[in-house]
Structure 1
Amino acid sequence: MTDVLNQCGQVWLTASPLQRVGAFALAALAKVSHPDRLGVDAFTAAVDMMTRHLLATADVAKAADAGGFWLGASYMLWPNSKINPTARGKQSPGQRRELIAEWRALPESATWPDVPCAYCDRPACKWFGKVDIPLGASAEHRNTTAPGHEGTPLCYPCVASLWAFPYGASLSGGRVAAIHSWDDAFLAPVTRLAVKRTLAKAQAPAVRTKAQPSWYARELAVLEAVRSYDQRIRAGVELIVLSNSNKEQLLRVQEMEQPVAEWLRSTTTRSDRRAGYRVLVAAQASKSASGEAFLAKRAFEDPAAVLHRTTAYLLGRFSAKGAVSAEVSGLAPLTYSYCIEVLMMDEKDVARLKGLAVRLAALLGQDSRPGPFGGFMRANAKGGDLYGWFRTQSVQWLLKTRPAGMSRILLPVEDYRLLFDDERAWSHRRLLVFAVMEALVEAGWQPMGSAEELEDVSEAAESFAVEEGN
């Protein structure tokens, strides 16, 4: 084996995310920091370890029995392979061990197909199919391959990486979930932790009852991995969920883009952002899922919704308390940085919206009644006439006493374009509502009015929050 592996070279990282995760899993099994540190002896030891794990299932009758972890996992990873053939119940433990060892052995070099590996272009050692390649075509389906091909050609280090892939993933609910990134420095520790957890789960006593998975648990695992990383994240982070079973062929890939991942990481490393993270999480919660779970979901699917839900949450707090929540001040560093770093708003545009918010707070704050603030919320909600509201309020701004140094123009042309003639107009409006609340808190404004007036404003706030949805 040593001569053959020296000929093939070491484990290389390729363009396949599954192979990359598997390569780092091999490194973790061999207790080295990176796949390029896998010498022949370490590589061989890691492959032998994986084979021993499969051989241990030979004495297990059912997957639910003690020691049946990899037998159970094999049905969604390697269906109809030598570990779980249809005739398994009729085989002796010795026969099972013989077949598993044969399956995972390095083919004799004389039998190699004389074609390059599909992943790395080194000499392939065999044609492979579904039982070795997650979601690969069966080697028996000749009409899915080019003439003369009997599956997908792979070298031994690459196929061994695919065998190691499940170790670097989470196996639960009949599906495999893996975290991948093109940032190798991030992928390495994330995969090491996954390997540690998988090995511990494989050795744990079999669980007879299936626990109900929490909402967005896989997305939440990515959020936790990103926030626990202590270096800058230099690439997007992918969540890969798949099943290779005969019952369900599934592949779903979601990407948390690099700016989102790096910003989320900063909420643990920067003190000015750590302070508001708890409130940000609370703002994302719903009756069905925790705030962090929904934050994770939105970080993948709709980053702008994080801002929208935060604004809606603060208005909901106004509805409950009859006053603008002081929490808005603690959220300010998070919110503005999120708009600039994640939503890619121009810093000058954010500054303009904050300046407009100060003028609006000065206008609304001249009236201790809550009604004017409620009118602003209604105008800013979907279906509201924000332009008409500004037209009316601009007249009031001219007639009322303005704080010294403030412009006579309430809504300059540049601000108008941000709110009504920009592709991010809806997010700009959400940010404006947030900034107005912040400015009112800083000005010490406390609404005074009858119970009916406060209830009317509360209804407007609740309506605004409901429109943002989940």
Structure 2
Amino acid sequence: MTASPLQRVGAFALAALAGVGRPDDVTGEVLAGVVEKMTSHLVGTVKVAKAADLGGFWLGASYLLWPNSKLNPTARGKQSPPEREKLIREWRARPDLAGWPGVPCAYCGRAACDWYGKVDIPLGASVAHRNTTAPGHEGTPLCYPCVASLWAFPYGASLSGGRAALMHSWDDDFLARMTRSTVDQTLQDAAAGPSKGAKPGPYARELWVLRAVRAYSRRITSGVELIVLSNSNKEQLLATQELGQPVAEWLRSINRWPDRRAGYPALVAAQQSKQVPGEAFLAKRAFTRPAQVVDFAIGHVLGQISPKVLIPAETTALAPLLYSYCREVLTMDDKDVERIKELAGRLAALLGQDSRPGPFRDFIRANSKGGNLHGWFRSKGVDWLLFPRPNGTPPVLLPIQDYRLLFEDERSWSWRRLLVFAVLEALAEAGWEPKGSQEEFQEIKELADAAGEGQEEGAEQ
């Protein structure tokens, strides 16, 4: 095992192909047997005319992974199957000890068995490009186990669209499980032959990682990287993005809590757009801008307010997910989240004592574009003093600590959005059902739409 994600994925792929538990078990004859198995997969392409033919899976993959290798030379069409097999086996043969270069492996420091370039190492420089290596070197020195790992990593990758996508994590247990599953899928794809399946949807690779994380049964102790690469002559690409450990573990733990599990469909629906399905957008936001998950969920709830339903049913379903996300992923302090919920309870008590929709409308307006939430609190602070208050509530509607969260904290915008949601939840729990005209309810609907759009705009900033 080394510090290279590609080598690590490849090492676990070797273990999966060998049918053993860990890379440490791939030793001696086991390693030789796995390399022979991989070589036999490549040899299986020698009678294939082109990659689209049955049995051409690894020939097609070779243009992405090993361009200009012995598997896909320019003169391949003029070679006989025995000639092709001979060249492939020579390429994948273990170098004779007498010809080892006498330098350490660039990855692990053991004795290198040869110099390697682009036909073996993704994104590696060609051995013809002397200016990319140290003086006197003929490429990158690698030991046989490390180069075997690089040959094996494609089995632990999703190969589609001319690119390879890998999941990597420094959590070895997670990496072992995910690589083993991917190896099984790759072998199935190779055996099935060419397929004209449905075109992948938006953010398909991010969604692949999200579903793998959610299906994992143990605690995830490190972030999960999504690595997308191309080593072809047409495109050199290496793109990496990470699903942080807090959000990965939160996504995995949803199934452990019945209330979170029950609210997951509502969370997915809250993330969707006209072009992108909800779970795909949830995956993308979890990778790139985790705070947007909450922002868009609250915006969605506000967008569900209608002249017939002022308190959407999604409110109570989403509450356990959003509060846990704020604490566990966005690292909002527990005491501050509880402050917002307690303030929301006071606001719900104040708004709920009036069966008319007007006070609720004013609260939504204060949180919409151009709204004056500060002025609204000044006005309602007086009402809180004048009207009967629930037992055990403080005489001040907006204590100084709550004021600082909403108006002075670096996360003030997020605290305000959470407050809007918490007020809706508190009103739902109280069973508040206002009575008013259709015109009043329609106005609230329009204001809620504006407030929801404002949250989404804030999330994009």
What TM-score, normalized to structure 1?
0.95
Q: What corresponds to 1:237 in structure 2?
A: 224
Q: What corresponds to 1:252 in structure 2?
A: 239
* Alignment partner of 2:68 out of 69, 76, 80: 80
Q: What corresponds to 2:54 in structure 1?
A: 66
Q: Are the counterparts in 2 of residues 319 and 462 from structure 1 also a CA contact under 8 Å?
A: no
Q: Deviation string for 1:375-395 (max 9, x for gaps)?
A: 222322354322122122212
Q: What corresponds to 1:91 in structure 2?
A: 79
* Alignment partner of 2:153 out of 155, 165, 172: 165
Q: Are the counterparts in 2 of residues 322 and 458 from structure 1 also a CA contact under 8 Å?
A: no
- Residue 434 (structure 1) aligned with residue 407 (structure 2): no
Matched residue type, 2:109: D
Q: What corresponds to 1:198 in structure 2?
A: 186
Q: Are the counterparts in 1 of residues 63 and 232 from structure 2 also a CA contact under 8 Å?
A: yes
* Alignment partner of 2:330 out of 343, 354, 369: 343
- Secondary structure in 2 matching 1:389: helix
Matched residue type, 1:53: H
Give the drift of 1:85.
Answer: 1.1
Matched residue type, 2:240: V
- Residue 360 (structure 1) aligned with residue 347 (structure 2): yes
Give the drift of 1:464.
Answer: 2.1
Q: Is the alpha carbon distance of 1:320 and 1:63 closer, same or farther for their aligned partners in structure 2, counting shifts above 3 Å?
A: farther
Q: Deviation string for 1:208-249 (max 9, x for gaps)?
A: x46321111111111111111111000001111111111111
Q: What corresponds to 2:121 in structure 1?
A: 133
* Alignment partner of 1:105 out of 93, 108, 111: 93
Q: Deviation string for 1:112-136 (max 9, x for gaps)?
A: 1111101100001111111111111
- Residue 396 (structure 1) aligned with residue 383 (structure 2): yes
State the distance in 2 between where 1:465 and 1:388 align: 20
Q: Deviation string for 1:70-98 (max 9, x for gaps)?
A: 00011111111111111111111111111
Q: Is the alpha carbon distance of 1:265 and 1:67 closer, same or farther for their aligned partners in structure 2, counting shifts above 3 Å?
A: same
Q: Deviation string for 1:260-289 (max 9, x for gaps)?
A: 011111101222321211111111111112
* Alignment partner of 2:252 out of 246, 261, 265: 265
Count residues with an aligned counterpart.
457
- Residue 146 (structure 1) aligned with residue 134 (structure 2): yes
- Secondary structure in 1 matching 2:46: helix
- Residue 425 (structure 1) aligned with residue 435 (structure 2): no
- Secondary structure in 2 matching 1:70: helix
Q: Are the counterparts in 1 of residues 165 and 226 from structure 2 also a CA contact under 8 Å?
A: yes
Q: What corresponds to 2:302 in structure 1?
A: 315
Give the drift of 1:205.
Answer: 2.8
- Secondary structure in 2 matching 1:179: strand
Q: Deviation string for 1:154-173 (max 9, x for gaps)?
A: 10100110110000010011
Q: What corresponds to 1:299 in structure 2?
A: 286
Instruction: Give structure 2 stretches of 5+ with no counterpart.
Output: none
State the distance in 2 between where 1:136 and 1:406 align: 67
- Secondary structure in 1 matching 2:72: coil
State the distance in 1 between where 2:369 and 2:80 align: 69
Matched residue type, 1:377: I
Q: Are the counterparts in 1 of residues 18 and 30 from structure 2 also a CA contact under 8 Å?
A: yes
Q: Is the alpha carbon distance of 1:198 and 1:463 closer, same or farther for their aligned partners in structure 2, counting shifts above 3 Å?
A: same
Q: What corresponds to 1:416 in structure 2?
A: 403
- Secondary structure in 1 matching 2:304: helix
* Alignment partner of 1:284 out of 243, 246, 271: 271
Deviation above 6 Å: which 4+ runs of structure 1? none
Matched residue type, 1:218: R
Q: What corresponds to 2:210 in structure 1?
A: 223
* Alignment partner of 2:319 out of 309, 326, 332: 332
State the distance in 2 between where 1:374 and 1:89 align: 74
Q: Is the alpha carbon distance of 1:421 and 1:162 closer, same or farther for their aligned partners in structure 2, counting shifts above 3 Å?
A: same
State the distance in 2 between where 1:423 and 1:50 align: 54
State the distance in 1 between where 2:262 and 2:395 align: 37
> Percent identity between the aligned chains?
67
Q: Are the counterparts in 2 of residues 322 and 447 from structure 1 also a CA contact under 8 Å?
A: no
